[in-house]
Structure 1
Amino acid sequence: MAPFTPFFSEGLYQNMRRVCSESEESIHYCSFPQVEGERNERIEQSVARMMTIIDLARNIRERHNKPLKSPLREMIVVHPDVNFLDDIAGKLKEYVLEELNVRSLIPCNDALKYASLRAEPEFSVLGKRLGKSMGVVAKEVKAMSQIDILEFEKAGEVTIASHCLKLSDIKVVREFKCPDGLTDKEVDAAGDGDVLVILDLRLDESLYEAGVAREVVNRIQKLRKKTGLEPTDAVEVYFESLDEDKSISQQVMNSQELYIRDAIGSPLLSSTLMPPHAVILGEESFHDISKLSFTIYLARPALVFKSDAILLLYGGNTKSVHGLETYLLSRDHSNLKSEFQLGDGKITVDAIEGFPARNVVLGEHVFLTVGDSVLRTKGL
């Protein structure tokens, strides 16, 4: 990058000079920028702790083989600093929930509610300073009760064996206490001695269904890439369950319909709705995905005809119905879509032998996609 970076930055600077008065002739004549304003150390510390929280929660997920695609119900963040908890439950909350795929976040400043406390001396800090007194001080630090530790954290210092120890001199370790009636497979925690993160690992029906939906969307996106489709390429996606009991996958598709539609940009269609003239661009079968097996089909948008309405349009002549369908199927789909848009939802067809021109109305005689037909049926 070194050979062209100076020229690139100079080009950007010269463009900026057009709207900036009293600027230097070249960026290479400018002084290095100076920091303006004061650093907000509290925000920096909160963001650093937030990153720690995310790492700790991911460690819990990995320990229990819970991938990020599987949503979890709740996480609890335990820390005595109320300001930090306010940041985590406020400005940083949405980011944490999105990164960890957790439904809710509960801050807690009661250090003894979910953890037991013990104190450890920071030997690397105290060793040189205390010398021979280190052994006595270390023994008393380790003997501190949980109440003593809480008071120490609140005061910020404690005197032991005539030595004043600060927060940086003693490491407070928080060890998770599993709630009564639960096991560590249902609720688990991780901490770094400063903050404790607790994850509720129990899955209910809604969480399971949301997790399956994310897995399905992930497989669809990978299949699109494998098929060589661009993000802007319009396709219809069909789903076929390979399980003997298809009710589970059907329940998931129904409950997660809106999420899947938003994620893939179109409805996820049952393979039974695929018309015979659909052109399949790619397909792949998946097995034992969240205990389900299924096949995904990617197909070009396919027209759906309302035969009864077309039959009425042509006075009951079945041959003309077939002729109109054949004619429309022979047309380029994108051009046909444009014609309907220009015609305010209708086009004039005069290509049917023996019949004068007829107005074919979108949504009344034909749909441009199977998805449009399904959404109209559902009143959407």
Structure 2
Amino acid sequence: MEHLSIYLKFPLLDRPGESLLVWTTTPWTLTSNVAAAVHPELTYIRVRQNGEVYYLAEARKEVLRGDYEVLGKLRGEKLLGLRYRGPYDELEVQRGVEHRVIPWREVSEAEGTGIVHIAPGCGKEDFALSKDFGLAVIAPIDDLGVFSEGFGPLAGREASEVSEEIVRDLKEKGLLYSTEMYAHRYPVCWRCGTELLFRLVDEWFISMDELRWRIMEVAKQIRWLPEFGLDRELDWLRNMGDWMISKKRYWGLALPIYECPQCGSFQVIGGKEELKERAVEGWEKFQGHSPHRPWVDFVKIRCPECGSLVPRIPDVGNPWLDAGIVPFSTLRYLEDRSYWEKWFPADFITECFPGQFRNWFYAILAMSTVLENRPPTKLILGHALVRDEKGEEMHKSKGNAIWFDEAAERMGVEVMRWIFARQNPFVNLNFGYTVGEEVKRKLLTLWNSYGFFVTYANVDKINPLSYELPLQNRSLLDRWLIAKLQLLVGTSREALEQYNVMALTRAVEDFLDDLSNWYIRRSRRRFWKGEDDTDKRAAYKTLHEALVTLAKVIAPVLPFLSEEIYQNLVRSVDPSAPESVHHCDYPEPDESLVDHKLLQDMDLVMRLVRMGRAARKEAGVKVRQPLSRIWVFVDEKEKEAVETFKDQILEELNVKEISFLEHPSEVRKCSVKPNLPLLGPKYGGDLPKVRRALELLDPEEVATRVAEGRKVPLDLDGRRVELLPEEVLVEMEAKEGLKVLEEDGYVVALDTRITEELKDEGLARELVRRIQNLRKKAGFNVTDRIVLSYRAPERLKRALRRFGDYVMAETLCLEMREGEPEGEACSAESIEGLEVQLGISRASGSHS
């Protein structure tokens, strides 16, 4: 922001006609000037201009207006001790003040004149200098920012409004040199943006000279998260000043300090009983009230030193003084020590660390050290701050503040909980509705998985708690999910024990991805099929176990969502179960249920499927379009896993056959050549030799070396050289009709050539998708059977003739009729440029 800045003269008393040239951006503080500061090691100049002589830093001579003559140079130390006439010596408050030049190494030659005006009653640094040099301290303004009595015509005026008047006054006195508007950083109220004024007041402090070292030893006995929290706390304790415990406020903890107005002695009252015993006036007005203003102020005691009547000081306690005593005041420390011992110290406390190292963390450490000389807690977790989605501080005045009630209503409190829980606590959280939507989608994966189970369990009227089915009697897919579930339980327990909730949420999200996008998708037909066989019951049993265990895992983070799942899946069918998910023991992992070989095999299968999908995407071939073959290159010991899960790979990738490659060169051609921009300057005229030597090597072997980050040896006419991996360019080209993808030594190759039969099957699959969308549009239940009517061109009719059974099975269609589309839902579709009209109706005997 911009303020009026002033260059003015401080006339030297012992050097007539000579002045210090001083600069300030706060003209109101000149009324309280008592000294001028220079840097003892900076170079200053003595200049003559218009018959007057000025002193200022050589580096700041640019502030001089007009021509001048340099009379000499001197170090700042030569100016120390010079006396000068202050700009407001005529004020009553300035009587007896001797103005002189003092040293200060913080004086800068980056702005101003290199000579700083010092007013200890108007600034923190200035006040500190007054302690060092015994300077007078003049406090000009009251608690409203208004000049006090003793400041002449300025008395009763607001300090923020007198700049122009001071400029006129200095000009009349012949002390004004020049003025200019100056843009700089200036403190403002964080709520309303009003500019702040520094005001000097008397406060009460606790000396930290000896106590700080004791607190540091206690702090070292606590576990800090993050670990750098301890370093920050120790740094604060080493460098902090005395602890200011009072505030000039009305509301707050009334400090029980009674300072005698006659002799200056003071007494600290330890409690109500002591106050009652020592009260000589006002107890009857206070009795029955809490020890706060105004009631406690009625009470007066007798000074033990001089016998005078003593009121309580008007100050209230710093809020952190009150907060620091929480480990004692809330646990009956004075009334029931055994009860306090039962609960002290706390297992864990948490607050944001940017400010609490010098506030609450420090306050409870100080109190606990003084009272017990031991830690108030076993662990302190400090977290970062909440910002808006752009990373900026939220403020009502900026219009970017989000109120809790609004966010809770709009995105839901469980979503908010997950947002906070999944955030790295040591990094600021950029909070907003975009973030909320992202997290909501993740939680919907859980809700949809739960909904899938409930839908089909209700249709089949099955209760997985009513029967036992040993894991060894279930499918490999079931055993894989239970193994993943046990890993999740182990990770979650360890994460919570380490106070790492973020790790829990990330593990849950990964598990939900496996649950929804692999297990449920791979198991859909097991739930759909009509017969109630062991495989179907195993699917229900496995999914039920996963959902119930997952509810227990997330219960500390999502209390309501987990309770909803638990009540419906457990309590509704087993009233003898614990009343709430929050009454259940937290799950413990069962290592006997973890088949590590199965987990490795399934990881391989999922990797190959992911690579196959990526190859399809790069080739521009939809997954619904069947392909004839896929080749895979895996380690010899991994072929068994591919054979075991062959059907899953083929189905996921919609491919007819899978074959193994003995070497990637079977499906792609490899070529290598020198990286000319790198090798040209290095080898110069030998570059052709490098090219020829590289051509003589096996390109596959060279490619392997480059992929592994190894050097490539070459023979240049009997001279051995080595090329760095980045100095060799490797190019891979798939053989005709194939799409090849390589990743970490694995290779997949898809035959992307589409025969007429494959094309027809692809059209049939597209028809299935359109019919399923129509089912949703019509609001049919997942179990409703339908009748399909259609009009289609010959190409689509052919696809239906070939793959009609597949279409009917997938859509629960009992009958297909060619003719005018009719039924509860109809639509016109375009499939690969072919126009088709569809209509569906609920089959006779089906009902919603």
TM-score, normalised to structure 2, is 0.26
Q: CA deviation at 1:205?
A: 1.4
Distance, in Å, in 1 between the alignment partners of 2:563 and 2:770 is 43
Equivalent of 1:201, from 734, 752, 755? 752
Q: CA deviation at 1:254?
A: 1.0
CA contact (8 A) 2:786 2:815 kept: no
CA contact (8 A) 1:82 1:109 kept: no
Equivalent of 2:601, from 29, 46, 58? 46
- Change over 3 Å in CA distance of 1:54–1:295 after alignment to 2: same
- Change over 3 Å in CA distance of 1:42–1:159 after alignment to 2: farther
Q: CA deviation at 1:36?
A: 2.3
1:217 alignment counterpart: 768
Q: CA deviation at 1:292?
A: 1.6
Distance, in Å, in 2 between the alignment partners of 1:145 and 1:283 is 61
Whichever residue aligns with residue 609 of structure 2, its letter is I
- Change over 3 Å in CA distance of 1:334–1:95 after alignment to 2: closer
Q: CA deviation at 1:116?
A: 5.5
The answer for unaligned runs of 5 or more in structure 2 is 1-413, 415-557, 673-695, 714-724
Q: CA deviation at 1:218?
A: 0.9
Distance, in Å, in 2 between the alignment partners of 1:18 and 1:64 is 56
- Change over 3 Å in CA distance of 1:78–1:175 after alignment to 2: farther
2:825 alignment counterpart: 282
Distance, in Å, in 2 between the alignment partners of 1:270 and 1:237 is 8
* 1:249 corresponds to 2:802: no
Equivalent of 1:84, from 629, 638, 658? 638
| 1:101-180 correspondence runs (5 A) | 101-115=654-668, 145=698, 176-179=732-735
Distance, in Å, in 2 between the alignment partners of 1:29 and 1:227 is 42
SS of 1:251's equivalent?
helix
SS of 1:256's equivalent?
helix
SS of 2:650's equivalent?
helix
- Change over 3 Å in CA distance of 1:68–1:31 after alignment to 2: closer
Equivalent of 1:96, from 635, 649, 655? 649
CA shift digits 1:326-355 (9 cap, x unpaired): xxxxxxx659x9xxxxxxxxxxxxxxxxxx
| 1:323-338 correspondence runs (5 A) | 334=845
Distance, in Å, in 1 between the alignment partners of 2:595 and 2:662 is 23
Whichever residue aligns with residue 761 of structure 2, its letter is A
2:817 alignment counterpart: 269
Distance, in Å, in 2 between the alignment partners of 1:214 and 1:112 is 34
2:806 alignment counterpart: 259
SS of 1:188's equivalent?
strand
1:3 alignment counterpart: 559
Whichever residue aligns with residue 258 of structure 1, its letter is D
Q: CA deviation at 1:96?
A: 1.3
CA contact (8 A) 2:629 2:658 kept: yes
* 1:292 corresponds to 2:846: no
Distance, in Å, in 2 between the alignment partners of 1:93 and 1:204 is 23
CA contact (8 A) 2:632 2:660 kept: yes
More deviation, 258-267/10-19: 10-19
| 1:11-50 correspondence runs (5 A) | 33-37=588-592, 42-50=597-605
TM-score, normalised to structure 1, is 0.53
CA contact (8 A) 1:60 1:189 kept: yes
- In percent, how many aligned pairs have the same letter? 19
CA contact (8 A) 2:826 2:837 kept: yes
- Change over 3 Å in CA distance of 1:47–1:118 after alignment to 2: farther
Matched residue count: 256
2:374 alignment counterpart: none
Distance, in Å, in 1 between the alignment partners of 2:796 and 2:836 is 9
CA shift digits 1:348-373 (9 cap, x unpaired): xxxxxxxxxxxxxxxxxxxxxxxxxx
Equivalent of 1:227, from 778, 781, 790? 778
Q: CA deviation at 1:44?
A: 3.7
Whichever residue aligns with residue 191 of structure 1, its letter is E
SS of 1:218's equivalent?
helix
- Change over 3 Å in CA distance of 1:113–1:40 after alignment to 2: farther
Distance, in Å, in 2 between the alignment partners of 1:150 and 1:62 is 25
Distance, in Å, in 2 between the alignment partners of 1:114 and 1:213 is 30
The answer for unaligned runs of 5 or more in structure 1 is 20-25, 120-142, 162-169, 302-332, 338-380
* 1:59 corresponds to 2:614: yes
1:72 alignment counterpart: 627
Distance, in Å, in 2 between the alignment partners of 1:51 and 1:174 is 28
Distance, in Å, in 2 between the alignment partners of 1:64 and 1:151 is 25
CA shift digits 1:192-221 (9 cap, x unpaired): 141111001111111011101111111111
Whichever residue aligns with residue 86 of structure 1, its letter is E
CA contact (8 A) 2:668 2:740 kept: no
Distance, in Å, in 2 between the alignment partners of 1:224 and 1:194 is 44
CA contact (8 A) 1:60 1:188 kept: yes
Whichever residue aligns with residue 290 of structure 1, its letter is E
Q: CA deviation at 1:40?
A: 5.7
Distance, in Å, in 2 between the alignment partners of 1:234 and 1:39 is 40
More deviation, 101-110/7-16: 7-16
Distance, in Å, in 2 between the alignment partners of 1:6 and 1:225 is 28
Distance, in Å, in 2 between the alignment partners of 1:256 and 1:103 is 15
Distance, in Å, in 2 between the alignment partners of 1:281 and 1:73 is 38
Q: CA deviation at 1:106?
A: 0.9
CA contact (8 A) 1:188 1:199 kept: yes
Equivalent of 1:239, from 775, 790, 808? 790
CA contact (8 A) 1:74 1:102 kept: yes
